A and B are shown apart, each in its own frame.
Chain A
């Protein structure tokens, strides 16, 4: 029997589920704790109590927004050295340019710019300044900096400059953690370098957090390997993932969407995840969230990540309803204080949940406390919520046809059973813990984003696919189970020959541990 445990650490709740084969065998919801680990330990204890077979799980997957929060809240960040390889180009825009000053002041250690890097076709731009790199490595060592981010021009196409720089660092200061930009991002030097810098400043936190997770696991009597879930709905072994904390930035919403796909058995659908404060709408393609093409800002820093394309609306179960003048819905929310402040729970704040209880959409708290709400108000509020959801759903659709919509999250009762542009609204069992289910079912992925020249479209895609498969296997996938989940190609303006930017993403099941 294949047993997997999925854990999602959200801002309010830590959810855990046990999957036996493809069946949800047990679920747990516990409050998230400030140190994160205590919440996980409690959730695991409760899970084992409900289903003792959880101890025999063969894999445990944890999804956490801990690292995003560290950047947003500017805490637990390490000082890093930035190494840019690309002179003589780009001299006027050094690393940390366009960072918020408060964040740069916390993170910026040594800044080094060296000659080197490549052209769009992989030719060297100028020879790499290895002597300069060695001198820089010594300065970094003498400055006592523990983490280094390296970004070279066009490294996604030719990573040799970054690799060479890392080798020199290992010789001169073997103890520093090294982040190479080509492992993290795509074309777009500043955004990719930013991702590397963010990663480097989180690496110490990632290491201690991941190790605390492992200890929590062992303390619960579970011997299975630990995986961390990534932005794209896949997992990495914790030992690998602790080197790439930025990959887990958006894993929460991604896990919800993956869980929705699994619970509904639909691979092509829209997903609406209604929480306490916000609603996320995304689109599933081949069972994975469609990714955003655009620049994503994290804590005020521009990056290009593999992130789900999400529309976040200020609507959730705790969203406040104002009636002083015209009727207003949100965006303010009572959040996790809903069970104290909502009318039906004995509080004094009119929330969307109270409106839903008055309308009979759900039975929560004391219904008598909302009996006096005017019917017209309830009706208008529900009409507004419907309109908000319909517009949001329409924005996230990829074509004009009707699409099914899977409703998950604690506030999914707010989603009307019929909506314009939606073929059907799917409510699924365990929808309140879809995120933990999404973590439990995660697979391993590999991705390649590269410019190919003078190849036919099919040849370019085939070549990218082979490279992506190799990457997935290196990350822990079983080669026999690998599937292509995304192929995208964009012809490029003003480049010679037949230049095609090709992106291929593959996923596979976790390879059995030897």
Chain B
């Protein structure tokens, strides 16, 4: 267990936005919350999963809803914490620690907001290793862990317990419905996990990894070195393509932002084109018409100069971007993992082939 410094949240915000693979929501507001908390003297603690006892309970938290609503109804740490205490009341048991649902985007910082209020440590890890759009796209779902109960609270005094759900899909449908009813923004505490489940089924070390990526970007910028090279080095990634956005088409279907971005090659990639399909996050990239990179490998689109991640909602014509792939957590690469988060889970009739194979 170790204290987390205020500076580390600045790094975490950068790194988590990169691991968001185009989705996950901007960490900006969550970062502002942490700055406010630290100004008041709060210090959060990060714990290694190995420090958990097998029968400890861990609260997996995340914000749920539309990113746009989150820009008006700014989430505060107390509401995040409320979802956790409500689960404790329902279970009649206390949590030992808090953990992130997804390390990609704003949800990387949300558990720290809850932890600051509850005075609990945060487990170094998550259950996606990136960002994904749906509840069943987690390492816990791949391991067939139980998906209930779930608590969902809003900032008024509304709270919902989903006591049981027949499947991950049902849990997604029921909780999504409740979330919409309270204004499309809610804080949730997912099914509680035992220490044993965390150690065996979570994606461990992802918080430290995200901080490390952010720190590498910051160090490279200070030294006027290439921040993208720094990311590739620290996260053992592969450069897929570099160029400028040439065309961008978006549409929403079934509540998701889907679309395709076409990138025209520059420098070493001149004369080539990369076509990137996304469903909130980047899903598949075709180089000159041939599949080149696909989920669950992490597909990250970065500003070629600053190294900042670019979200699928903010892609624009003319942006100079570099596309990199980062390795997916091993659990996502198992046959069961591919079933949950491989290209077919997003509607692409492709056999998964990793860039890193």
B236-254 Cβ-contact flags toward A at 8 Å (1 or 0): 0000000010110011100
Q: Are A88 and B156 in contact (CB under 8 A)?
A: yes
Q: Of A73-81, A185-193, A247-255, A333-341, which stretch is located at the interface? A: A185-193
A392-403 Cβ-contact flags toward B at 8 Å (1 or 0): 001111111000
Known contacts being A293-B316, A395-B318, A493-B280, is A126 close to B74, with CB within 8 Å?
A: no
Q: Which of B282-326 contact A (CB under 8 A)?
A: 313-314, 316-318, 320
- The reply on A47 being an interface residue by CB < 8 A is no
- The reply on A70 being an interface residue by CB < 8 A is no
Q: Are B156 and A126 in contact (CB under 8 A)?
A: yes
Q: Which of A89-129 contact B (CB under 8 A)?
A: 89-93, 97-98, 117, 119-120, 123, 125-126
**Of B37, B66, B244, B247, the contact of A492 (CB 8 Å cutoff):** B66
B111-132 Cβ-contact flags toward A at 8 Å (1 or 0): 0000000000000000000000
A160-178 Cβ-contact flags toward B at 8 Å (1 or 0): 0000000000000000000
Known contacts being A120-B68, A398-B317, is A493 close to B255, with CB within 8 Å?
A: yes
Q: Are A495 and B255 in contact (CB under 8 A)?
A: yes
Q: Are B29 and A125 in contact (CB under 8 A)?
A: no
Q: Are A92 and B318 in contact (CB under 8 A)?
A: no
Known contacts being A88-B156, A89-B155, is A189 close to B74, with CB within 8 Å?
A: yes
Q: Are A496 and B74 in contact (CB under 8 A)?
A: no
Known contacts being A88-B155, A293-B316, A294-B314, is A153 close to B65, with CB within 8 Å?
A: no
The size of the chain B interface, using a CB distance under 8 A, is 42
Known contacts being A294-B314, A398-B317, A398-B318, is A93 close to B66, with CB within 8 Å?
A: no
Q: Are B74 and A92 in contact (CB under 8 A)?
A: yes
**Of B75, B184, B257, the contact of A491 (CB 8 Å cutoff):** B257
Set of chain B residues within 8 Å of A126, measured between Cβ atoms: 156
Of B36, B255, B256, most buried by chain A (CB within 10 Å of CB) is B255
Interface extent on A, as a size class?
Answer: 35 or more
Q: Are B73 and A153 in contact (CB under 8 A)?
A: yes
Q: Are B72 and A400 in contact (CB under 8 A)?
A: no
Give the nearest-CB partner of A292 in chain B: B316
- The reply on B354 being an interface residue by CB < 8 A is no
Of B35, B69, B250, most buried by chain A (CB within 10 Å of CB) is B69
- DSSP class of A's interface residues: helix, strand, loop or mixed? loop
- The reply on A305 being an interface residue by CB < 8 A is no
B24-49 Cβ-contact flags toward A at 8 Å (1 or 0): 00000100110111000000000000
Set of chain A residues within 8 Å of B156, measured between Cβ atoms: 88, 125-126
- The reply on A508 being an interface residue by CB < 8 A is no
A487-501 Cβ-contact flags toward B at 8 Å (1 or 0): 000111111100101
Known contacts being A120-B66, A491-B252, is A93 close to B76, with CB within 8 Å?
A: yes
A475-514 Cβ-contact flags toward B at 8 Å (1 or 0): 0000000000000001111111001010000000000000
Q: Are A86 and B33 in contact (CB under 8 A)?
A: no
Report the bound CA distance from A478 to B183 in whole Å: 39
Give the nearest-CB partner of A93 in chain B: B74
Give the nearest-CB partner of B252 in chain A: A491
Q: Are A89 and B73 in contact (CB under 8 A)?
A: yes
Set of chain B residues within 8 Å of A154, measured between Cβ atoms: 72-73
Q: Are B264 and A188 in contact (CB under 8 A)?
A: no
Report the bound CA distance from A495 to B36 in whole Å: 29
Known contacts being A93-B29, A293-B316, A397-B317, is A493 close to B66, with CB within 8 Å?
A: yes
Set of chain B residues within 8 Å of A494, measured between Cβ atoms: 65-67, 184, 255-256
A273-308 Cβ-contact flags toward B at 8 Å (1 or 0): 000000000000000000001100000000000000
Known contacts being A90-B74, A93-B29, is A120 close to B69, with CB within 8 Å?
A: yes
Measured CB to CB, the closest approach of chain A to B257, in angstroms, equals: 4
- The reply on B180 being an interface residue by CB < 8 A is yes
Q: Are A493 and B73 in contact (CB under 8 A)?
A: no
Q: Are B74 and A190 in contact (CB under 8 A)?
A: yes
**Of B69, B72, B76, B77, the contact of A495 (CB 8 Å cutoff):** B69
A218-248 Cβ-contact flags toward B at 8 Å (1 or 0): 0000000000000000000000000000000
Q: Which of A186-214 contact B (CB under 8 A)?
A: 187-190
Report the bound CA distance from A494 to B79 in whole Å: 20
- The reply on B78 being an interface residue by CB < 8 A is yes
Report the bound CA distance from A499 to B255 in whole Å: 9
Set of chain B residues within 8 Å of A88, measured between Cβ atoms: 155-156
Set of chain B residues within 8 Å of A187, measured between Cβ atoms: 68, 71-72
Give the nearest-CB partner of A500 in chain B: B252
Q: Which of A389-443 contact B (CB under 8 A)?
A: 394-400
Set of chain A residues within 8 Å of B313, measured between Cβ atoms: 493
B56-100 Cβ-contact flags toward A at 8 Å (1 or 0): 000000000111110111111111000000000000000000000
Report the bound CA distance from A493 to B32 in whole Å: 24
Set of chain B residues within 8 Å of A398, measured between Cβ atoms: 317-318
Set of chain A residues within 8 Å of B251, measured between Cβ atoms: 491
Q: Are B318 and A188 in contact (CB under 8 A)?
A: no
**Of A93, A190, A496, A501, the contact of B36 (CB 8 Å cutoff):** A93
Report the bound CA distance from A7 to B299 in whole Å: 50
Q: Are B74 and A400 in contact (CB under 8 A)?
A: no
Report the bound CA distance from A398 to B319 in whole Å: 10
Measured CB to CB, the closest approach of chain B to A465, in angstroms, equals: 22
Measured CB to CB, the closest approach of chain B to A56, in angstroms, equals: 45
Report the bound CA distance from A188 to B73 in whole Å: 9
Report the bound CA distance from A293 to B250 in whole Å: 16
Measured CB to CB, the closest approach of chain A to B134, in angstroms, equals: 11
Set of chain A residues within 8 Å of B250, measured between Cβ atoms: 490-491
Report the bound CA distance from A367 to B153 in whole Å: 75
**Of B32, B73, B246, B257, the contact of A98 (CB 8 Å cutoff):** B32
Provide a sorted-by-A list of 6 A–B residue pairs whose CB atoms are within 8 angstroms: A90-B73, A93-B33, A97-B36, A98-B32, A120-B72, A493-B280
List 8 tightest A-B contacts by C-beta distance, closest first: A491-B252, A92-B76, A90-B74, A494-B66, A493-B257, A89-B155, A89-B73, A119-B183
A-binding residues in B (CB < 8 A): 29, 32-33, 35-37, 65-69, 71-79, 155-156, 180, 183-184, 244, 246-247, 250-252, 255-257, 264, 280, 313-314, 316-318, 320
Q: 19 additional contacts, CB 8 Å, given A91-B76, A97-B32, A98-B32? A: A86-B74, A90-B74, A91-B78, A92-B33, A92-B77, A97-B36, A120-B69, A120-B183, A125-B183, A153-B72, A394-B244, A398-B317, A400-B246, A491-B250, A491-B257, A492-B66, A493-B256, A494-B255, A495-B184
